[in-house]
Amino acid sequence: MVPTDLLEILKRDYQNFPADQTYAIYAEDVYFKDPVNEFSGRDRYQKMIGFMETWFKDIQLDLHGISESGDTIETRWTLSWTVSVLPWRPRVSVPGRSELHVNSEGAIDSHIDYWNCSRLAVLGQVFQQTRR
C-alpha cells in the first residue's frame, strides 16, 4: 500500500525538479532504469539528478498525471531542458511515464522511466534546431 503523503511529496518534487528533491522517500538500494541509465543506489540517483542540474539549464518537469494501484505509483510527465553547452542552446523535450514500486516500509525501491520517444528522436531535437 502506498502511504498517502508519498503522492503529495512526489507532486512537490516534480514541481521543484531538480531542486529540493526528497531523496529520503527512496530506499537506500533503489533500482533506477531509463533509456540511458541503469543502476542501484539512492546515492547514484542523487548524483544523476545533480549531473542534470549541472549540464542542463531551465529544466522543467511537468506532471500530467499520478495514480496508484496497490504498491505501484505511475506518473505521466514531460521533461524538458536547454542544452546550454551548445552555442545554439537547443531546447529538448521528452514525454514519458514512470513506474515506482513502493516496498513494505513505504519507500520507493524501484523507479523505471519509459520515454514516449526514442533516444535517437531526443538526439535529433538537439541537431534539428541548428537549421533555423
pLDDT tens digits along 53-80: 888 999 999 999 999 999 999 999 999 9
SS3 116: coil
Strands 26-33 and 108-115: parallel
Higher pLDDT, 84 or 23: 23
Evaluate if residue 130 carries a pLDDT over 60: no
Q: How far is CA 64 from CA 14, 29, 47, in A?
A: 10, 28, 25
Give the number of C-alpha atoms closer than 13 A to the C-alpha of residue 94, restricted to the C-beta side: 23
Q: Where are the domains of the chain?
A: 4-131
For 76, the grid coordinates are 505521466
> Once rounded to an integer, what is the mean pLDDT over residues 115-124?
93
For 36, the grid coordinates are 540511458
Question: What type of residue sits at position 112?
Answer: I
Q: What is the CATH code for 4-131? A: 3.10.450.50
Q: How many CB atoms lie within 10 A of CB 39?
A: 13
